[in-house]
Amino acid sequence: VKSVEASIPEPQREAWKKHQVEGFTDKDGFEKEVVRHVETTLARSLFNCDEGAAYSATSLAFRDRLITEWNRTQQRQTTADTKRVYYLSLEFLMGRALDNAMLNVGLKDVARGGIDDLGFRIEDIIEQEHDAALGNGGLGRLAACFLDSLASLNYPAWGYGLRYRYGIFKQEIINGYQVEVPDYWLDFNPWEFPRHDVTVDIQFYGNVRKSQDENGKTVAHWEGGEIVTAVAYDMPIPGYATPSTNNLRLWSSKASSGEFDFQKFNNGDYESSVADQQRAETISAVLYPNDNLDRGKELRLKQQYFWVAASLYDIVRRFKKSKRAWREFPDQVAIQLNDTHPTLAVVELQRILVDIEGLEWDEAWNIVTSTFGYTNHTVLPEALEKWPVGLMQHLLPRHLQIIYDINLFFLQTVEKKFPNDREMLTSVSIIEESQPKMVRMAYLAIVGSHKVNGVAELHSDLIQTTIFKDFVKIFGADKFTNVTNGITPRRWLHQANPRLSELIASKTGGHEFLKDLTQLNKLELSIDDDAFRKEWAEIKYANKVRLTKYIKKTLDVTVNPAALFDVQVKRIHEYKRQQLNIFGVIHRYLALKAMSPEERKKQLPRVSIFGGKAAPGYWMAKQIIHLINNVGAVVNKDPDIGDLLKVIYLEDYNVSKAEMIVPASDLSEHISTAGTEASGTSNMKFVLNGGLIIGTCDGANIEITREIGQENIFLFGTLSEDVEDLRHAHTYGSHTVDSDLNKVFDTIQSGTFGEPNDFGAMVAAVRDHGDFYLVSDDFQSYIDTQKMVDTEYRNQDEWVRKCIRSVARMGFFSSDRCINEYAEGIWNVEPLVVK
Ligand code: 4GP
């Protein structure tokens, strides 16, 4: 950029500078921008500007501001010639952008006034926005929190992903069943910039020809096949209280000619000419709706290569502009693989360096392994990605050859270190010798990266002692590390819970805590302040009232906002054990039914709130949803029960709903079978918003306990070190289910909650088929712990103190801390300080 600028004559530079866009800073300027966008960009007027148009114009006004900062940020980074981080993720679960942009830029109050002047309410405008739901759950939302932290901490960073036309499906609950409806979110998205000038042609299929160059070296040429074009769409990512604005670049696919095949068209074969175009567009059409599950579909592999190849082309192009030697590539570029989905990037970079740039294999491989880091997000075997060798051969013939070579050289080093250990070789080989043979993507990612990390301490220990233990022997323990997940306090406190954020600011000396979350610890000094605790409790109550109204509006069920709100919202999965929760609810219902009316009057009212999507092909998860809804239908209408128990299923759980639900919880459930939930991040969100947790010793629950103190969390259940023995005992010993749980099962099977056959498999999984998720082992301690919750909740003053103490000690779980750890320990990048 320096040289480009210098080459432009002074007067021209002056002309540009004179007209530089500065962006509004006050209400008047904001209104002017909104009106301009309504009247020109949207071609409407005062007379037909509805809330939707007002939302669009407001977003466009902010987008213009961001894009100016975005340009400057890029220019600063290029001029400073610093190392950049590239975060490759197939999922970015961003949620809404407008509220976040207003708050991060610090102009929400300005916008509120302006929108008011123009005749709207800011809350209504915010509600107009459709969530950008390009992710399934934890993994995708983590990527979104990371983008916020990277920008807020001034790191030179880009996110790279796919621009799905359909994000995660919309969930409807019809007659108690989940029904999936497509989520078409791109009608008009004011936050994206189509970059029709930034395109990359991506090759698939074809074959490999080898030739000799003038020095007698063998060169591979990947020829033929099919070309699809990737087009970049950019979304600006504003940092909080900093001008730094980063970029999320999402690739969209289209036919390489851009149009349909004219030859075919002229020959009258209109249909097939259009079909080619549609086939190309299919690549980025839809997000695969699986969480913690791999379903080896060819189109998914195509998506992965398409995205990875386009992103690497872009990264390499940017690097080449610096005119540095290739060996300096890792000094300029760090690439993080968010799970194994982008692992082909390892192979693609090796291909670029060897086949196209002509580097020697070893030199190229050094560059590759110094560039990549790999994050694992799950130990569940069904989620570990593998691709059939035959499919890889067909779709990416050159890449398969390179994978074989990587494997060969890798196994040679293993052989040297562990001579004559055939078992070791088969166990770590990137190619699984199964029928059919498979490429193990996690192994490829480990071999191709310089660091591998898990996402919470227990999880990082587990990967080193179970699924990847042989790799620890081969590479040494230094290659493996832990970075405990975090969440952005901007969205998950300041935006979702503005009143609490203001109260905290008033007690900690301003909004500094939003940039340095450890400052929350100052709250402990105010814990004996009666007025403070009173206001704290009032805020929680107001958040519960808001959710109460939403429940009334959407489900027509009246719940008592003074009841204990017990929440479990996350993807539906057997390992997350929503079934344990609903069995516990049934147990509570039976206990209440068995009481005399006098006894009942003494009980604490509770609302059990569930939400979450099941993967469309995950039958058992859908049965769990069905049971919860059926239980709700019976309990909520039972006159014996009244307010004492309500069971609510919130439809279509997503990021913007989480922003409303999380601040309204008294107790949230994080009750996975020990050793199965890699980290969890909603546990952090709930505690940060002043709710307590009931949970197992799993994932980040363990570190949360360490930080906030075990007197502030309700832990129960089996420990991870005992899980295997219990499973073994279930299968080979005698497995019995205690009488309380049996009563629950009998009630289900008596038809109290609808057709018993619908739930037969769910009951049998626990009673007859080995109870893999240890529901029976943990049931009694779960029930006992819930009783303790009831007792403790009655002492509201002590409960509020526990909540405040917990919030005060949550500083560690900011994604800022987490990103700083990645930057220092894995990426070796520095923030670019903005003056
Ligand atoms: C999730 C894990 O299940 C969750 O525990 C973790 O907090 C999150 O990643 C972020 O690290 N994994 C997935 C997945 O979403 O699909 O593997």
CA–CA separation, 289 and 302 (whole Å): 16
* Residue with the two structure tokens 């038809």: 751
pLDDT at site 17 = 87
Q: How far apart are CA 777 and CA 736, in angstroms?
A: 9
Distance CA 534, CA 101 (A): 32
* 380 burial via Cβ count (<10 Å: 0-12, 13-18, 19+): middle
Residues forming a β-bridge with 565? 607
Give the pLDDT of residue 809: 98
Best mutation site among 292, 441, 463, 822 for ligand 1, i.e. most ligand atoms within 8 A of its Cβ?
292
Contact between residue 237 and residue 63 where contact means Cβ atoms under 8 Å apart: no
Locate 490 and state its tokens.
């901007």
Q: How far is the CA of 125 from the centre of ligand 1 (A)?
A: 32
Q: How far apart are CA 821 and CA 483, in angstroms?
A: 7
Question: Tell me, what's the pLDDT at 2?
Answer: 47
pLDDT lower than 50: segments of the chain: 1-2
What is d(CA 669, CA 717) in angstroms, rounded to the nearest whole number? 13
Query: What is the Cα–Cα distance from 476 to 485, expressed in whole angstroms?
Result: 24
**Rounded distance from Cα 170 to ligand 1 centre (Å):** 20
Ligand 1 binding pocket includes 291 (Cβ within 6 Å): yes
* Cβ(125)–Cβ(49) below 8 Å: no
User: How many CA atoms lie within 13 Å of 132's alpha carbon, on the beta-carbon side?
Assistant: 23
Amino acid at the residue 97: A
Question: How far is residue 764's CA from residue 750's CA, in Å, rounded to a whole number?
Answer: 15
3-state secondary structure of 231: strand
Name the CA radius of gyration of the chain, rounded.
28
Per-residue pLDDT of 426-470, as tens digits, reads 999 999 999 999 999 999 999 999 999 999 999 999 999 999 999
455 Cβ inside 6 Å of ligand 1? yes
Q: How far is the CA of 670 from the centre of ligand 1 (A)?
A: 13
* 102 ligand 1 Cβ < 6 A: no
155-205 pLDDT, tens digit each:
999 999 999 999 999 999 999 999 999 988 877 899 999 999 999 999 999
pLDDT on residue 692: 98
What are the residues whose beta carbons fall under 8 Å from the beta carbon of 57, sequence distance 6 or more?
33, 34, 35, 37, 38, 41, 42, 49
pLDDT per position as a tens digit, 656-686: 999 999 999 999 999 999 999 999 999 999 9
Q: Is the CB of 689 under 6 A from ligand 1?
A: no
Show which residues are catalytic. 377, 570-571, 576, 681, 685
Rounded CA-CA distance 393/264 in Å is 29
Within 10 angstroms of residue 711's Cβ, the number of other Cβ atoms is 8
> Is there an atom of ligand 1 within 6 Å of 23 CB?
no
State whether the beta carbon of 454 lies less than 6 angstroms from ligand 1.
Answer: no
Q: Strand, coil or helix: what is 343? A: coil
- The pTM score is 0.97
Confirm if 655 and 96 have CB atoms less than 8 A apart: yes
Token pair, residue 609, equals 């709130």
Q: Which of 91, 141, 337, 455 to probe ligand 1 with, by most ligand atoms within 8 A of CB?
A: 455
- 798 burial class (0-12, 13-18, 19+ CB within 10 angstroms)? exposed
445 CA → ligand 1 middle, Å = 17
Distance (Å) from CA 624 to ligand 1 centroid: 20
Give yes or no for residue 377 CB within 6 A of ligand 1: yes
Alpha carbon distance 604, 587 (integer Å): 15
What is the predicted pLDDT for the residue at 4? 56
Q: What is the pLDDT of residue 13?
A: 87
